């Protein structure tokens, strides 16, 4: 009901800095709507995209990561800014 992921944002941060930051930027505001806003308003869509990638872009599917790491990434995203 809260839409907040039950992960550890600090554990998701290294994954974000390694995998995501190149395209999405340190604040998650490059390329798309701010990731913080997306992750908080529709965490299910954000989780789907993390797991399956984006078929028409370079966004990779991260299904190779364990479930907890994916939840931690979502938690990290939810802490990013939500405005441009």
Query: In angstroms, rounded to a whole number, what is the distance separating the alpha carbons of residues 54 and 76?
Result: 19
Residue 31: per-residue pLDDT: 79
Q: Which pLDDT band holds residue 54 (cuts at 50, 70, 90)?
A: confident
From residue 60, alpha-carbon distances to 6, 16, 56, 78 in Å are 23, 13, 10, 20
**Three-state DSSP class for residue 12:** helix
Q: Which pLDDT band holds residue 57 (cuts at 50, 70, 90)?
A: confident
Q: Which pLDDT band holds residue 36 (cuts at 50, 70, 90)?
A: very high
Give pTM, 2 decimals: 0.91
Residue 84: per-residue pLDDT: 63
Residue 17: per-residue pLDDT: 96
């Amino acid at each position: 009901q809260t839409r907040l992921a039950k992960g550890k944002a600090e554990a998701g941060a290294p994954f974000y800095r390694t995998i995501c930051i190149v395209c999405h930027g340190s604040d998650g505001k490059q390329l798309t709507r701010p990731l913080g806003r997306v992750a908080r308003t529709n965490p299910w869509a954000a989780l789907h995209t993390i797991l399956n990638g984006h078929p028409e872009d370079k966004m990779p599917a991260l299904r190779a990561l364990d479930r907890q790491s994916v939840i931690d990434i979502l938690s990290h995203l939810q802490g990013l800014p939500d405005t441009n």
